[in-house]
Amino acid sequence: MREANLFYVTLGQRIRERREAASLTQAQLGGQLDPPVTRASIANVEAGKQRLLAHSLAQMAQLLHVPIDELVPPVLRPTTELVPAIERELRQKLDLKPAIVARLARAVQHVSTTHTDTPSDHAERPTRTKQR
Amino acid sequence: MVYESLGPEVYGLLIWCPKPAVICVNREVPEPKQRMVIAHEMGHVHLGHEFGSDQYVHVDRRWDRYRDCIAPGLSEQDMEANQFAGELVMPTKLLQEAVAKYGNAPLTEEHMQELAAKFDVSEQSMTIRLSRLGLI
């Protein structure tokens, strides 16, 4: 769920950047979609709060003259695959002692399992503190 | 934030998990420079830089080989990150105030050393920053 949030937040940021680069207002972009989407909806999409239909996204990419894969963020890999992938990349790019690679992998493991904050997680936090 | 020995060629690493990131700084680099490296990596994160969808490790190799940030070996993203780091570690306003205290005379070698010590950066970083701000 958190991963999905991050996905939509990133997607929204990319749409906003491309829309601004194309000098379109949120209302103009929404109005050119079929079916049309309101200015408020585009604002929510750009903030990652509303999830866009796939065919609206395809239309949007066309309107903004950008390949759709430049708008779509990569899907996050689960930690079990991510850590070995990072270890491989470290070995490939740098000549490091195995112990250092192992420590870095542990740091990655630690961060990816404990810090997956997204804006919505921050919103939940005060409630949890009160319960304590 | 982790500190490791990364050899003579590397300043720091930024590892995307893919978000948030682990910053690894080369502990062999002098401490004032470490601060700039950390600020540089933070710059990549803050500025939302992306390094290819299947790349998780961004390696920052020594950029002090070049006399200024405008070096052919540096990507646009690295230059942006350097600019961010400069502003974070040596904020324009504070630096202008510090320079103003020396009056209108051109800055001497001693002034540069003092400024570098005050902001805890290398003299080289300070020189680059001052010239970017048009203060020397």
pLDDT per position as a tens digit, B16-57: 876 668 999 999 999 999 999 999 999 998 888 877 766 889
For B59, the closest of A6, A94, A100 (CB atoms) is: A94
Q: How far is A121 from chain B (nearest CA, A)?
A: 14
pLDDT per position as a tens digit, A6-47: 789 989 999 999 999 999 999 999 999 999 999 999 999 999
Q: Which 35-74 residues of chain A touch chain B by CB within 8 A?
A: 73-74
Contact B41, B1 (CB under 8 A): no
Contact B26, B6 (CB under 8 A): yes
pLDDT band (50, 70, 90) for residue A123: very low
Q: In chain B, what residues touch A115 (CB-CB under 8 Å)?
A: 20
Q: B5 and A89 in contact by Cβ < 8 A?
A: no
* ipTM score: 0.80
Distance of alpha carbon A15 from alpha carbon A22, whole angstroms: 10
Q: How far is B22 from chain A (nearest CA, A)?
A: 7
If you search the block for the tokens 């909806």, which residue do you land on?
A41
pLDDT of A95 > 70? The answer is yes
